Amino acid sequence: MQIEFLVEEPSAEEALKHVLPKLVRGRAHWKLVNLGSKHKLLKVLPRRLAAYRDRIVQGESLRVVVLVDRDADDCAALKRQLEDMARRAGLATKTSPDAHGQFHVVNRIAVEELESWFIGDAAALRQAFSSLPAIDADKGIFRNPDNGGTWEALHRFLKKHGIYKSSYPKIEAARRIAPKLDIPSNRSRSFQAFVQGVEALLGAAPRGV
């Protein structure tokens, strides 16, 4: 089985390079496709999904995960947009499986941005940056990672402790933090939704479209 993960930018690609081996654990082959921006991903997604459907119809054991940041978008509206694109391409999703309960596409949204996943694991941050003091996971941005999980919030926290004093290098930060993430203990709800979606996909057994 092959799973293609479509992401919107390089830091998400970098993070998943480290998360996916721990999550997939050799149960499938996987490929990361970085589309360069959220705008471009949404623009080319219908065409890509149609191409994936053609490959699946021809017998390829292929599944797709789409990951985008919520940013300032309405989460429900963004999810509907992704689901509608899959439906128009003739592909069932985890949210709307076919009559047999099977699906080929999982749409997931990082709320508000990928950095919420990093904020969701305070221990990983301390492992990535040894100069950080003890973190109370029930206070500040850590209490609800998906509520304060913008890159600006994470940058302010790190800067306060002398890390990344000028700018926040998203790719470098992902490269340092993502390898330390502990999948079961991450407190970001959007991270756990992503994990559950991939697990469901790995457990599904599509028989074609």
Considering the domain architecture, whether residues 108 and 156 belong to the same structural domain is answered as no
The answer to whether residue 208 is domain-embedded is no
Are 72 and 132 part of one and the same domain?
no
Question: What was the pLDDT predicted at 120?
Answer: 97
Could you list the residue range(s) of the whole structural domain that residue 99 is in?
2-113+188-203
Are both 74 and 13 inside the same structural domain?
yes
Please report whether residue 132 resides in a domain.
yes
The pLDDT assigned to 209 comes to 53
Residues 109 and 22 in one domain: yes
> Quick one: pLDDT at residue 37?
98
> Domain holding 41: CATH number?
3.40.50
* pLDDT tens track, the chain, 209 positions: 999 999 999 999 999 999 999 999 999 999 999 999 999 999 999 999 999 999 999 999 999 999 999 999 999 999 999 999 999 999 999 999 999 999 999 999 999 999 999 999 999 999 999 999 999 999 999 999 998 679 999 999 999 999 999 999 999 999 999 999 999 999 999 999 999 999 999 986 544 45
Report if residue 108 sits inside a domain.
Answer: yes
Q: What is the 3-state secondary structure (H, E, C) of the chain?
A: CEEEEEECCHHHHHHHHHHHHHHHCCCCEEEEEECCCHHHHHHHHHHHHHHHHHHHHCCCCEEEEEEEECCCCCHHHHHHHHHHHHHHCCCCECCCCCCCCCCCEEEEEECCCCHHHHHCCHHHHHHHCCCCCCCCCCCHHHCCCCCCCCHHHHHHHHHHCCCCCCCCCHHHHHHHHHHHCCCCCCCCHHHHHHHHHHHHHHHCCCCCC
90 and 134 fall within a common domain: no
User: What percent of the chain has a predicted confidence (pLDDT) above 90?
Assistant: 95
Same domain, 25 and 125: no
Please tell me the predicted confidence (pLDDT) of residue 205. 52
pLDDT for 103: 97
Are residue 13 and residue 101 in the same domain, yes or no? yes
One domain for residues 132 and 171: yes
pLDDT score recorded for residue 175:
98
Whether 9 and 109 share a structural domain: yes
Q: In total, how many domains does the chain have?
A: 2
- What pTM does this model have? 0.95
**pLDDT for residue 62:** 97
Residue 18 included in any domain: yes
Domain-embedded: residue 209: no
For residues 30 and 86, state if they share a domain.
Answer: yes
Residues 25 and 90 in one domain: yes
pLDDT for 148:
66
Answer yes or no: do 43 and 108 share one domain.
yes
- The verdict on residue 57 lying in a domain is yes
